[in-house]
Chain A
């Protein structure tokens, strides 16, 4: 043995300071709770993203998805959107499919409506049964909102056509 018993005992008598344990355990506990906290935050963030994705219409360049959302918004209306509002030159055109029983009166506060393939255009149009209508607005203003109203008997339905600056496109929504 290169060290005698006394030297070994002296060496072994050296102990870690008491304060070191407190310091280690404090830091371990703190790290442990931070770790748990991060896990809960991550789960909460995932839930928020999932909920937002489920309830908020999709924005972005993917037009068909945006249009599907808008079509859903019009579900209570007696028509659906066959062609979404689009600019052609200085004319804004939207095509709507009406499914009504009996007579319906369609009127717009700006522009003209006409039956698909029909020659006559007017701000008001009477249809009987199913029909496809084209709504044309010349030189539309992005700051304006345009209204289309459908009267079926005593009931009246109203929709709004306006420019959505977020999507940079024209959209129809039910009022």
Chain B
């Protein structure tokens, strides 16, 4: 792939998936700044890997999986460095968004979920992906996806009804 083509490929993928990846990163990292960093890193990595991905479905799956993995990495580092307390994280979440307040009840519910469950809930109930698509994206079995959806649903209902 020529230099110009590979740069264009990143631009096209960005236009298609950046918002979704950013939202996904935001639900994990709960910080607009960290979510930007994660998405930025994922697209830089994508620039080097895009020629290996055979079709749009694989590209999307790769981007989502890479974003989730990048979020896990950043969260691990945050835990190690202990830079942010949980209260700080909650306060910075969605801070720059004009509609942040409207989204807070959703994020509050998502924050109550363990990370693995949160990813599956977001992809299925908020982004609208099917179980089969999530299976491909996360590289886990369909039964594992269904199990996480079921448990996540129960936890979220508890939070939202409080």
> B147 near A: Cβ within 8 Å?
no
Q: CB within 8 Å of B: which of A6-34? A: 6-8, 10-17, 20-21, 23-25, 27-29, 31-33
A3, A13, A14 pick with most chain B CB within 10 angstroms: A14
CA distance A7 to B108 in the complex (A): 12
Assess whether A11 is in contact with B105, with CB atoms less than 8 Å apart: no
Assess whether A32 is in contact with B40, with CB atoms less than 8 Å apart: no
> B97 near A: Cβ within 8 Å?
yes
Known A-B contacts A11-B23, A24-B43, A33-B3; the reply to A16 vs B36 at CB < 8 A is yes
Q: How many residues of A contact B (CB 8 A)?
A: 27
Majority secondary structure of chain B interface residues (helix, strand, loop or mixed): helix
Chain B: interface residue count, which band?
A: 20 to 34
Assess whether A14 is in contact with B23, with CB atoms less than 8 Å apart: yes
CA distance A24 to B44 in the complex (A): 7
> Inter-chain contact count A-B, CB under 8 Å?
85
Assess whether A7 is in contact with B106, with CB atoms less than 8 Å apart: yes
Assess whether A13 is in contact with B10, with CB atoms less than 8 Å apart: no
By a CB distance below 8 angstroms, the chain B residues around A116 are none
As a 0/1 sequence over residues 1 to 27 of chain B, the CB contacts with chain A under 8 angstroms (1 = contact) are: 001001100110010001101110010
> B53 near A: Cβ within 8 Å?
no
> A1 near B: Cβ within 8 Å?
yes
By a CB distance below 8 angstroms, the chain A residues around B83 are none
* Chain B: minimal CB distance from A44 (Å): 18
CA distance A13 to B21 in the complex (A): 13
Known A-B contacts A14-B94, A17-B36, A21-B18; the reply to A3 vs B99 at CB < 8 A is no
Assess whether B125 is in contact with A3, with CB atoms less than 8 Å apart: yes
As a 0/1 sequence over residues 29 to 52 of chain B, the CB contacts with chain A under 8 angstroms (1 = contact) are: 000100010011001100100000
> A51 near B: Cβ within 8 Å?
no
Q: CB within 8 Å of A: which of B122-145? A: 125-126
By a CB distance below 8 angstroms, the chain B residues around A16 are 18-19, 21-22, 36, 39
Q: CB within 8 Å of B: which of A41-64? A: none
* Chain A: minimal CB distance from B61 (Å): 19
> B160 near A: Cβ within 8 Å?
yes
17 contacts between A and B (CB under 8 A): A2-B121, A2-B153, A3-B106, A6-B102, A7-B106, A11-B103, A11-B126, A14-B22, A14-B23, A16-B36, A17-B32, A17-B96, A20-B36, A24-B10, A24-B43, A25-B11, A36-B3
Residue numbers of B with Cβ under 8 A of A are: 3, 6-7, 10-11, 14, 18-19, 21-23, 26, 32, 36, 39-40, 43-44, 47, 94, 96-97, 99, 102-103, 105-106, 121, 125-126, 153, 156-157, 160
Supplied contacts A11-B103, A28-B7, 17 more A-B pairs, CB within 8 Å: A1-B125, A2-B121, A2-B125, A2-B160, A3-B125, A6-B102, A8-B126, A13-B103, A14-B99, A15-B19, A16-B18, A17-B32, A24-B43, A27-B40, A28-B6, A28-B43, A28-B44
